[in-house]
Structure 1
Amino acid sequence: MFSPKRYARLKWACRRGMLELDVLFLPFVETGFKDMSFEQQEVFERLLTSDDPDLFAWFMGHQQCQDPELAAMVKHILGRVKV
C-alpha cells in the first residue's frame, strides 16, 4: 500500500510537461490507481520515470514500449481512459 506521502509524490509526478500526458495520467491516478495491485502500482510509478517524448510515443501509438511491464501498463491506462 502506498503511504499518503508517496501517493502525493506520485500524483505530483503525473503533472507532466505535455498536456496530452496530463489528460491521461491525472484522471487515471485519481480514479484507477487505487484499484490496482501493489505490484501494478509500482509499475505505474516506474512508468512515470520515463521521458515525456517516450511516453507520448507509446500512448499515441507511434512506438511500442520494449519493456513488457510498462507496455502492459500503457495498455491498461488506455483501456481505462477509453471506457
Structure 2
Amino acid sequence: MSKKYTECSLHGKQEIGLLCTHLAHSLLDRIPVGFHEFDPGDLGRPDAWCDLCHAAEQQIETEKDEEEWFTNCDYKILCVACWDEAKDMNRKI
C-alpha cells in the first residue's frame, strides 16, 4: 500500500492522518475533547475520534448505524505531525 501525503501549512509535506472534526478543531481552539483511536497498537496513524464520537460509537448496533457514525464523525485529513499533536493534547483529559 502506498503512503498518502498532504501539504500542511505548518509542517510541510507529511503523511496523512484522519481525525474526527472535533479533534481537528481542538487544535484550533485548544479545548481537549478526549482521544480514541481505531488501533492504539498501530505504529501508524489510525482513524481517531473524540469522547463525543466515542459515546456515539458505543451505541452502534447495525451496519447502517456504523455508516452514520462514520459520516457524523466528519473525518478531516491532517498531517501526521498535527495528528500527533492532537493525540498528545487530547489524551490528557
- Fold match by TM threshold 0.5: no
**If the length of structure 1 is used for normalisation, what is the TM-score?**
0.30
- Which has more strand, going by share of residues? 2
Q: Which has the higher helix share?
A: 1
Normalised to the residue count of structure 2, the TM-score between the two structures is 0.28
